[in-house]
Amino acid sequence: MSDAFTVVEPVMGTVASITVRGGRTDRVERAIAACVARLRDDERVFSTYRDDSDVSRLRDGRVVLDDADPRVAEVAARCRDLRARSGGRFDADRRGWFDPTGYVKGWSVDAAARAFDEVLADGVIEAVGVNVGGDMRLRTSATSDHVWRVGIAHPTREGELLATVEIVDGAVATSGTSERGAHLVDPRTGLALAGPVSATIVADDLATADAWATVAAVAGISDLDWMPVAPVASGIVWEHGRTRRFAGRVEVTAFRDALAG
């Protein structure tokens, strides 16, 4: 089962690319449709650009949290926990209203990717990857030896890779200034990051990878104090040409450099 195909759909102001290794059966098509439908429904609830979204209505005082879609309360609780665990490096309320950008996309992709549970378990497909805006939830059937190989783009050298990672079942997310400029703000100071800075996180799920990639980018190259409490597998932070890597909550750059010397 080596054939692969990719379906691309516009969603969340970007595109979702769903890559499937296996046959394009009716069951697989239904799983793809359910995956895209979940992404679009979460966009309807959480988009900060749609006036009719629950988040926008909450921001404008047209609805209170208890009357919003239950998903909003769930995400808000997770964002509060993330603010506490990250020492304020992530704060969904930093703008004076609830904006879960930096968390909710990964959370949504995780939920949407569960549409493939049955076709993976039954061996109908070998693997599936859901990529939304460059952040990926990658899954592989327990009966397959497929490994996803992901290239991490260099922040300033177009066409070059900063690193590669291999994932069987997990997620990878990148946050930084290379694609969208100075859009990241340190909630503790209110200042935008000038950059260039980039952080990539590998974790079991994309909600975790996406959120902690934002934390790592905001913290920058000189601050890894958040790392011991982060539920992540590994990562890399790049800033102004310097790189720091970690795995299993242990920084590995110094060890690598010592061996090289």
Interval 132-177: pLDDT, tens: 999 999 999 999 999 999 999 888 888 888 889 999 999 999 998 7
- Please tell me the predicted confidence (pLDDT) of residue 178: 65
- Indicate the pTM of the whole model: 0.91
- Domain count across the chain: 1
**Which residue positions in the chain have pLDDT lower than 50?**
1, 255-261
- Please tell me the predicted confidence (pLDDT) of residue 253: 58
- Please tell me the predicted confidence (pLDDT) of residue 194: 72
**Distance set, CA 31 to CA 27, 34, 104, 130 (Å):** 6, 5, 21, 12
d(CA 11, CA 25): 23
176 forms beta bridges with: 198
- Please tell me the predicted confidence (pLDDT) of residue 183: 67
14 forms beta bridges with: 11
* Domain CATH code at residue 30: 3.10.520.10
- Please tell me the predicted confidence (pLDDT) of residue 159: 85
- Please tell me the predicted confidence (pLDDT) of residue 186: 87
Domain with 227 in it: 4-260
DSSP-derived 3-state class of residue 17 = strand
